[in-house]
Chain A
Amino acid sequence: MSQTQSVIAPTALKTKLSVDRVSMVFERDGKQTDVLDDIDLEVGDGEFVCLLGPSGCGKTTLLNAMAGFLSPTSGEIRVDGEIVRKPDPRRIFVFQERGVFPWLTVEGNIGFGLSKLPRAEREKRIAHYVKMVGLQGFEKTYPQELSGGMKQRLEVARALAVNPDMLLLDEPFGALDSITRLIMRGELLRIWEAERKTIIFVTHDIDEAVQLADRVVVMSARPATIQQIVNIDVPHPRDISSQRYLQLRDGIFQQIGLAHKL
C-alpha cells in the first residue's frame, strides 16, 4: 500500500493507547454479528487520531471498548500499558450534545466530576473551563436553554474539567449545523493545542477527519477492519485549499471507493 501506511504511533511520541488484535462479536437473538475484526492500532501521547468510516461500521463500538464500556470478544486494549476493563475518569467519552445532564446547570455539569475537590479549587476550575469554552454569563443556565453548539461545548468542558489524559469523542459535532460545526472544529483544535490531550475522534466526515487529525484511520464497512492509516502532514492552522490537503483528502475519498464528484 502507500507509504503513509503505519500502524505504529510516530516514534517521537510515547505510546498512550494500544489496541492489540481486538475483535468484537455481538450476539442478538442467537445470531452472531462480527463488528470488529482483528484491529491493531497504536496512538501516541498527545496525538489527535480520527477513526473514519461509514455509518454503522463499528467505529463507535471500538471507541466504546477504548472507554471501557464494552469488553472486546478477543484481543486487548491497553492505556499506559494497563488493560482497559472499565470506564475511568482519565479517559472521558464525549457523546453528542445529549450527554450533558439536563438537571444540572452549566456550572453543575462542569463540576460534576469534581465533587472530591475542595470547594474553592472546584469553583476555580469551573470558572476556568466556563471561560475556555466561552460560556461566561451562562453559569446558572440549564442545558435546555442552550443551543446545540453550546451544549456540545459544555460537554467538552465537563470532560476537560477532570483533567483526563484522553478524550474519546463520538461524532461530537454530528448534530450541529455546518457553520457551528466548523467553529467547533476550530475550538477543539485550540483546546487540544492548549491542553495536549490524546484525542480519539470518531467521524464519518472525510473533510472533518483531514482537517483535524494527525492521523486518519480509515475503517472498512462491517466487520470493521483498518483499511489504511493516513498521516496528515499539514501543519496547523491548516490551509484547506492547499495542494497537499486536497491530495490527502482525495486519496481517502478514493480509498473509501468514492469518486470525488457528484
Chain B
Amino acid sequence: MRDDNAARMNLRLLLRPLAFIAVLLLLWEIGIRRQSSHLLPGPWGTVEGIVDLVRHGLLLKYIVASLFRVTWGFTLAAALAIPLGLAVGWYRRAEMALNPILQILRPISPLAWIPIAILWFGVGDLAAIFLIFVGCFFPLMLTAINAVRSIPAVYVNAGRNFGLGTPSLVYRVLYPAVVPNLIVGLRITLGIAWLVVVAAEMIAVSSGLGFLIVDARNAGNRYDLVVAGMLIIGVIGLLLDLGMQSLEKVKSFRWGYSED
C-alpha cells in the first residue's frame, strides 16, 4: 500500500513540471506562428534541428566531446584542490598564508584566462580542459578548506582519545567528517564546469556543444541549431546535477544535510 502511494506521489511530482513544460511549448509555438519575424525558431523547428544533428551524427559526437573536456578538467581540479584544501585547512598557518592569494584569484572569471590558455596550450582540447580546471580549482579548494575548519572539535578529540595517529585520524575522522560538505562543493562546481565548457568551446576548439552554437550561427544563421544546442546543454546540466545530488542520499553522508 505504502509503496503504491509513494509511486503515485512520485508520478504526480513528475507530471506537474512536465505538464507545465508542455503548456510553455504550446505557447511558444503559438507565439511563433502569430508573427513571422525570425526572432526565435519554434519548438517544432528546434526538434527538426535536433533531428538534423542526429542524422549528421553530430549530436552524440559533440556531447561526448563536451563531456570529455568537463570530465578531465573537473577531475583534475578535484584531485588537486581537495587534498590541497584539506591540508591547508588543517594547518592553520598554511591557511593564513594562502588565503589572500586565493581570495584574489577566486573572483577572476575563468573566461578571463582564455588568452593565457591559448598562449600556453594553443587552440585545442588542452586549452578547454585548462579553463575548466581553473574554473573548478578555486571553488573546490575553498570548499575543502572550509569543510576541514568546520569539523567539530569533539570528533577530532574523540578520534585522538581512541589512540588514532595522524594517518588514521585523517582517514577515519577527518575524511568522513568533510564528505557531506565536499559533495555540496562538487555539485556546485560541476555546474560551473558545465558553464565554462560551453564558453571555452566557442573560442578554443572546433567541436562540442559550445562550438555547435557558434558554428550554427556563423554558418548560415541556423538558429534552430542554436536553440537545439542550448536545450541539450540545459538537459545535460540537469542530469549531471541530479547525479551529484543522488550522492547526498547515501546513508553515511546524509547526516550532513539534515536540520537535526
Contacts and interface: CB of A to CB of B under 8 A. Distances in A.
B181 to A, nearest CB: 12
A162 B162 contact: yes
A92 interface: yes
Interface in A87-106: 87-89, 92-93, 95, 98-99, 101-104
Interface stretch (B49-57, B100-108, B222-230, B248-256): B248-256
A138 interface: no
B10 interface: no
Contacts of B256: 102
B243 interface: no
Nearest to B255: A102
B176 A93 contact: no
B161 A98 contact: no
Given A103-B253, A144-B255, A162-B162, A87 B179 contact: no
B161 A144 contact: no
Given A99-B154, A101-B176, A144-B260, A87 B255 contact: no
A173 B155 CA distance: 18
A115 to B, nearest CB: 8
A85 to B, nearest CB: 12
Contacts of A69: 157, 160
Contacts, number: 54
A112 interface: yes
B247 to A, nearest CB: 14
Interface residues of B, number: 22
A103 B162 contact: no
A87 B161 contact: yes
A142 interface: yes
B78 interface: no
B252 to A, nearest CB: 5
14 contacts: A69-B160, A87-B157, A87-B161, A95-B157, A98-B152, A98-B154, A99-B154, A102-B255, A103-B176, A103-B179, A103-B252, A104-B252, A112-B172, A144-B254
